[in-house]
Structure 1
């Protein structure tokens, strides 16, 4: 393990200290290590597209949008090899929330998430990727 020195604005350090205290970190070093791991795991430049990952694509959509439910189910069937589970929630009379857990190569997981979130009627969507191999 290597020891480094960094300089931070007082306000930024104060916010970081409050954050790590709230999250239960015992020291700054572990907080910084987790922050760097998080940054690197969410960096497209460092993300090998052929590595295995776990992903969760979550999205809100208008279930009254013509044919959207059928298109979403069709997309899930088309990518049946990487889909592991889906949670469906009725938010109100028009909106549904779904979270689909995926496992596969990063490129495949991203492709399915993009195909889902780009559908007309999907209001908001986000893919959370977690690499299986440690960074």
Structure 2
């Protein structure tokens, strides 16, 4: 496995802060966490209300257009979005979603797969319907 030097240095700093004695143990724990989060997202069902937080490098070719195109395809699930400039390099897109969790999951995974996207975090809660 190869990692960019900057990412590996940041990971090593986290390991030191958290008191890990070995990089291997930290990698195992990080992989387990990633798998648990994926399984949690995969096992959700029904209508959900949530937030998709996306950090991306806005200078990366076409990433902004790709994110916008995906949002247009999922406009039935998107209630609002907000764009913030984090730095000269990175932006944060916060997308408020509501609807069937399978569509929300698909939206999230499509954004995750884009080149130039640094991080995607989906947070949801059950959606209540007013009768």
TM-score range, shorter chain: 0.5 to 0.7
Report what 1:98 is aligned to.
Answer: 93
Q: Does 1:115 align with 2:103?
A: no
- Residue segments in structure 2 that go unaligned for 5+ positions in a row: 1-38
Whose helix fraction is larger, Structure 1's or Structure 2's?
2
CA distance in 1, matches of 2:43, 2:117: 29
Offset of residue 125 of structure 1: 1.0
The correspondence of residues 46-85 of structure 1 with structure 2, limited to 5 A, is 47-48=44-45, 51-85=46-80
- Residue segments in structure 1 that go unaligned for 5+ positions in a row: 1-41
Report what 1:38 is aligned to.
Answer: none
Q: Provide the alpha-carbon RMSD of the alignment.
A: 1.7
CA distance in 2, matches of 1:93, 1:45: 34
When normalised by structure 2's length, the TM-score is 0.64
Q: Which protein is bigger by CA-based radius of gyration?
A: 1
Count matched residues: 90
When normalised by structure 1's length, the TM-score is 0.62
- Does the C-alpha gap of structure 1 residues 69 and 43 become closer, same or farther in structure 2, counting only changes over 3 Å? closer
Q: In structure 1, the residue corresponding to 2:87 is in which secondary structure?
A: coil
